Structure 1
Amino acid sequence: MPTEVTMQNRRQVTAAALLLGGGLLTPALARAATAPQSLADRFAATLSAGDIDGFSELFADTYVNHQQSAAAPPPANVTPKQATVAFFKARLAAMPDLKVDIEVVVADKDHVAASFVYSGTHKGAYFGVAPTGRALRFTSCDIFRVQDDRIVEHWGMGDIAGVLAQLRA
């Protein structure tokens, strides 16, 4: 019986073949058609594994973050890549058991959009709130532009208000 991953891969290859006009789909074309989605998968996997170094490698040095948050402004005198890595490093410190799942993902040749679900136990300070031991669950919707297998641009919205409500409940 095929696994969910196998079925998902079959759907991706079928979709890529349809997008290519039903022509022959070589393995190289199949990889190219799903490369941005692969990046979303690695985004979730590195965070779920607590691998901040692997997470950092997903971003180009020239990365631009178009998302600005008053709740989590970037530190002064750091690059957008450094600010993003620092933000997620703080998230991992606050929730060392962080798990990131993907609800839905849509990709084309150089963009990927994903709805991520984050869950974990609040065991460290987060957004200025001391550890509560509460189980947290929140989402973000993110769009990445991908170039050379790296995230070069990001647009998105995270449910910071929902996180703060759970922390202060």
Structure 2
Amino acid sequence: MMPEIVVRRFFEEIRSGRNLHLVTEFMAEKVLAHQVQAEDEVTVERSPMDYADHVQEMLNAYGTFTLEIQELLVSQQDRVYVRWKQIGTHIGEVDGFQPTGLPIIELASAVYRVEDGKIVEYWIQIDRTGITAQLERNKKKKIENS
């Protein structure tokens, strides 16, 4: 399967949270996840089940969210760039913030490297400061409306 198709289907089935049981169809046994952040770049090794658990945590925190691919580009034969917007509702604790029932938007992008039809590595950037600002604003709104 072409890398673009692998990544697109991965988003539709796994990253969206719709069909987590299919995760091994899209991810290699060991995936290097490079979390690109200015203050502390980190690379973690993820298994497909680790990743499914991670998406489940997002579902627990944000409910059934919408996930819109805003851009998808094939940058090299084995690499695919994706930029997306995720919109959910804050229904579970996130970074010490109690649920507010208010919307939370995540803007993020990643480059996925595909080998033999499976994701083997990715580099991800998430607007974490923007998420924190929304959590703080929503906490304030909830207190004001109490």
TM-score > 0.5, shorter chain as reference: yes
> TM-score under structure 2 normalisation?
0.76
Task: Name which structure has the greater RCO, CA cutoff 8 Å, separation 6+.
Answer: 2
> TM-score under structure 1 normalisation?
0.67
Superposition CA RMSD, Å = 2.6
1:131: how far off? 1.0
Asked if structure 2 preserves the Cα contact closer than 8 Å seen for 1:50 and 1:96, the reply is: no
1:128: how far off? 2.5
How many Å separate the matches in 2 of 1:92 and 1:155? 22
How many Å separate the matches in 2 of 1:166 and 1:56? 33
Counterpart selection for 1:166 from 122, 134, 139: 134
1:105 paired with 2:61, answer no
Counterpart selection for 2:46 from 60, 80, 83: 80
How many Å separate the matches in 1 of 2:61 and 2:123? 24
Aligned position for 1:133 = 101
How many residue pairs get matched? 132
More helix by share: 1
How many Å separate the matches in 2 of 1:126 and 1:150? 30
> What amino acid maps onto 1:43 in structure 2?
F
Which deviates more, 110-119 or 52-61? 52-61
Asked if structure 1 preserves the Cα contact closer than 8 Å seen for 2:68 and 2:85, the reply is: yes
Highest CA radius of gyration, 1 or 2?
Answer: 1
Q: How high is the sequence identity, in percent, across the aligned residues?
A: 26
1:111: how far off? 0.8
More strand by share: 2
Aligned position for 1:24 = none
Aligned position for 1:123 = 91
How many Å separate the matches in 2 of 1:160 and 1:83? 21
Q: Which runs of 5+ in 2 are unaligned?
A: 138-146
Given the superposition, is the C-alpha separation of residues 50 and 113 from structure 1 closer, same or farther in structure 2, using an over 3 Å criterion? same
Aligned position for 1:94 = 61
